[in-house]
């Protein structure tokens, strides 16, 4: 399906309205541990019901897709995902421009950052002053995983590997198109007196005498970091071929071209290139999902089996219907999502048969 259709109806009776001042960036820097440039780009944070919440202005199909992925990831793929809800928010700041004075519809989510941790987007890990990730090459699953294998204790590495595999499978099944390097993040316990820019540096950690709980030292003197964990999974709205607003660009049998590919070899610049590699090297199957499955079959197989042989996505779709739901999907929207999920189920079944 390509182009625009009427895909959702908002159930105004169960959507709350809030009035609050947008939190200024200078104050936000003391509350949210991300680089200032990123905060300035996405400054729409409010204090609502006593907690800091991020508000993403939306009034289209992305209200649904963001919530679908969160439920799918949490209940089917065992991922810790952000919990979103639809709301209307009015910025009451006297400095707000006239265009921002009225109520805006969008998605609210609570700040998931906790005091006592340093937080890193993968885009920040790519900066040489923060870590050595940039030396591993392009942004890809393999390169990111190799960086963690070289940087973390073996136990910590296995946890991160499992997380990334589950995220990659989830993205593949839902046809995620925007897992850019701002949309994966990790955290590690803060060390008093060490800035977040230096927190991952082996040369800095090696000088610490009283913090053995934060790292291990190998027999050859290498520093391996402990307790690095993924944050909640967030920003998943561009799934099911959703491009912008109510615009869809998915067609049956389309080969997935993720921004976060399995390797540099499966980062496709065009649909034609993806089709060619699929047909030439993977017997017409999805190159990214095949590559992941062939490399990590033991971890992948239970999730591939569940997605290939079940239809749990239908139970999620059923939640977006009725008087208690903030969003009601049209029949066209339900059919659109169901067609893609069935298409993906068949793709997973074919990979399992190899």
Tell which wins on pLDDT, 12 or 32.
12
pLDDT at 263 exceeding the cut of 70: yes
**Residue 172: inside a domain, yes or no?**
no
Lookup: tokens for 89: 């928010």
Angle between helices 154-174 and 297-309 (to 10 degrees): 30
What is the Cα 223 distance to its own chain's centre? Answer: 29
**Residue 178: inside a domain, yes or no?**
no
**Residue 87: inside a domain, yes or no?**
yes
**Residue 69: inside a domain, yes or no?**
yes
- Strand positions, DSSP E, the chain: 2-3, 8-10, 17-20, 45-48, 51-57, 85-91, 103-110, 117-121, 185-189, 215-217, 223-225, 229-230, 248-249, 327-329
What pLDDT score does 95 carry? 76
What pLDDT score does 6 carry? 62
**Residue 1: inside a domain, yes or no?**
no
Question: 39 pLDDT band (50/70/90 cuts)?
Answer: low
**Radius of gyration of the chain, Cα coordinates, nearest whole angstrom:** 21
> CA–CA distance from 352 to each of 118, 227, 304, 312, 346 (Å)?
39, 34, 7, 18, 10
> CA–CA distance from 204 to each of 131, 153, 198, 199, 216 (Å)?
12, 17, 7, 7, 13
d(CA 178, CA 176): 6
**Residue 84: inside a domain, yes or no?**
yes
Q: What range defines the domain where residue 100 resides?
A: 11-110
What pLDDT score does 192 carry? 87
**Residue 27: inside a domain, yes or no?**
yes
Question: 25 pLDDT band (50/70/90 cuts)?
Answer: confident
Q: Which residues contact 69 (CB under 8 A, 6 or more apart)?
A: 81, 170, 174, 176, 233, 236, 237, 239
**Residue 33: inside a domain, yes or no?**
yes
Domain count within the chain: 1
Model pLDDT for residues 234-253, shown as the tens digit of each residue: 999 999 988 776 677 888 88
């Amino acid at each position: 399906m390509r182009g625009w259709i009427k895909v959702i109806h908002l159930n105004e009776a169960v959507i709350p309205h809030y009035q609050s001042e947008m939190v200024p960036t200078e104050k936000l820097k003391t509350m949210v541990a991300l680089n200032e440039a990123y905060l300035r780009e996405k400054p729409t944070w409010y204090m609502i019901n006593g907690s800091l919440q991020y508000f993403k202005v939306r009034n289209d199909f992305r209200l649904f897709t963001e919530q679908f992925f969160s439920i799918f990831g949490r209940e089917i793929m065992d991922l810790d995902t952000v919990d979103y809800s639809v709301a209307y928010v009015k910025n009451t700041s006297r400095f707000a421009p006239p265009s921002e004075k009225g109520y805006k519809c969008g998605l609210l989510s609570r700040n998931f950052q906790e005091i006592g941790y340093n937080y890193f987007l993968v885009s920040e890990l790519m900066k040489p002053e923060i870590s050595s990730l940039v030396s591993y090459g392009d942004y890809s699953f393999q390169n990111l995983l190799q960086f963690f294998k070289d940087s973390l204790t073996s136990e910590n590495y296995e946890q991160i590997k499992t997380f990334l595999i589950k995220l990659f499978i989830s993205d593949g099944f839902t046809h995620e198109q925007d897992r850019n390097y701002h949309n994966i993040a990790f955290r590690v316990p803060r060390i008093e007196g060490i800035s977040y820019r230096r927190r991952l540096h082996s040369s800095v950690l090696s000088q610490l005498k009283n913090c053995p709980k934060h790292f291990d030292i190998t027999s050859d003197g290498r520093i391996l970091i402990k307790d690095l964990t993924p944050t909640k999974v967030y920003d998943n709205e561009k799934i099911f071929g959703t491009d912008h607003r109510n615009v869809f660009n998915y067609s049956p049998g389309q080969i997935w071209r993720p921004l976060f590919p399995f390797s540099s070899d499966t980062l496709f610049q065009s649909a034609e290139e993806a089709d060619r590699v699929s047909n030439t090297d993977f017997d017409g199957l999805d190159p990214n999902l095949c590559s992941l499955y062939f490399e990590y079959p033991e971890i992948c197989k239970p999730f591939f089996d569940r997605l290939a042989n079940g239809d749990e996505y239908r139970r999620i779709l059923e939640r977006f219907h009725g008087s208690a739901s903030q969003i009601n999907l049209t029949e066209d929207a339900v059919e659109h999502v169901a067609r893609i999920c069935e298409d993906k189920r068949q793709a997973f079944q074919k990979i399992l048969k190899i």
